Amino acid sequence: MENRQYNYSQNQSGGMIARGSATDAIRPEAVKVLRNTYTLLAMTLLFSAVMAAVSMSVGLGRGASLICSLGALALVWFVLPRTANSSAGIGVVFGFTGLLGLSLGPTLSYYLQLANGGQIVMQALGGTALVFFALSGYVLTTKKDFSFMRGILVAGLVVVLVAALGSIVAAMFGVEITAFSLAISAAIVFLMSGFILYDTSRIVNGGEQNYIIATTGLYLNIYNLFVALLHLLSAFSGDD
C-alpha cells in the first residue's frame, strides 16, 4: 500500500478549519477546490488506466512494476511537496499516477488469467466506484467534519503497513498466511473508506485548499481500495 504520510504535512488553509453542518452551504473557495480536484482526479484515473493497459500489453514484469512503484513514491515524497503550489505539480501528479498505473499491470494480468478474472476485476471496479461515490456524496450532502478521524486513520495506517511488511517477510521465507493476508486487505478497505470521508471533508470544510494535494490523496484512496477489493473478491470466489 502506498504511503500517504505526506498528506498531513500539507495544510494550506492558513487558519481555523470550519466545521460544516447540513444546513451550511459549501464555501465558494471550497467549491472551486472540489471542482478542480474532481476534474484532475478523473483525468489522472483515466491516464492511469491507459498506462495499466500499456503495461499489460507489453507484459511488464514484477521487477519493473516494483521500480515503477518506487518511482511513484519518490515523486510523492520528494518532488510533489516542492511543486504542489505551481503548475509543475500537475505534471508530477500525472507522472505519479502514470507510474502507479504501469505498476498495476502485472497485478491485473494475474487476475485476468483466472477462470472468472474479468468478472472479478469488474466487480472490484464497481465496488470501488460505489464506495467512493457513496462516501463522497454523504460528505458533500451533510458537510460533516470528519477531522476527528485523523488520529485513528494514521494509527490504522501504521498498523496496516507494519502488518503488510510482516506478511512480505513471511512470504520471503516461504510462509503463506492466507487468513492474515485477507485480514490486511479487509483492513485496507475500511481504512481507505475512512480516508475518503476524511479527505473529502477537509476539502468541503476548508482544511485543504490545494487541489493537487487533494487529488493525490483521493487517488491513493481509490487505488488502494481497488487493489484490496481485487484480493478479497478473488479469495471469496475461490480463485486466489
Amino acid at 139: V
Q: Mean pLDDT, to the nearest integer, of 56-61?
A: 94
Long-range contacts from 198-203, C-beta under 8 angstroms, 24+ separation: 198/146, 198/147, 198/149, 198/150, 198/153, 199/7, 200/135, 200/136, 200/139, 200/140, 200/146, 201/139, 201/144, 201/145, 201/146, 201/147, 202/17, 202/147, 203/30, 203/33, 203/34, 203/37
Place of cell 487533494: 214
Task: Give the confidence band of 24 by pLDDT, cuts at 50, 70, 90.
Answer: low
Q: When comparing pLDDT for 163 and 24, which is higher?
A: 163
Q: Could you read off the pLDDT of 110-119 as tens digits, one per residue? A: 999 988 999 9
The full set of domain ranges for the chain reads: 26-236
Task: Give the confidence band of 169 by pLDDT, cuts at 50, 70, 90.
Answer: confident
Q: Taking the mean position of all CA atoms in its chain, how far away is CA 59? A: 24
| Mean pLDDT over each residue of the chain, to the nearest integer | 88
pLDDT above 80 (res 12): no
Q: Could you read off the pLDDT of 60-72 as tens digits, one per residue? A: 999 999 999 999 9
Contact 232, 37 (CB under 8 A): no
Q: Mean pLDDT, to the nearest integer, of 151-174?
A: 87
Q: What pLDDT sits at residue 185?
A: 94
Q: Taking the mean position of all CA atoms in its chain, how far away is CA 127? A: 14
Place of cell 493525490: 216
d(CA 231, CA 235): 6
Q: Could you read off the pLDDT of 175-217 as tens digits, one per residue? A: 667 888 899 999 999 999 999 999 999 999 999 999 999 999 9
Task: Give the confidence band of 4 by pLDDT, cuts at 50, 70, 90.
Answer: low
| Cβ-count burial 16-31 (b if 16+ within 10 Å, e if not) | eebebeeeeebeeebe
Q: Is the dihedral angle over the CA atoms 125, 45, 167, 3 positive or is it negative?
A: negative
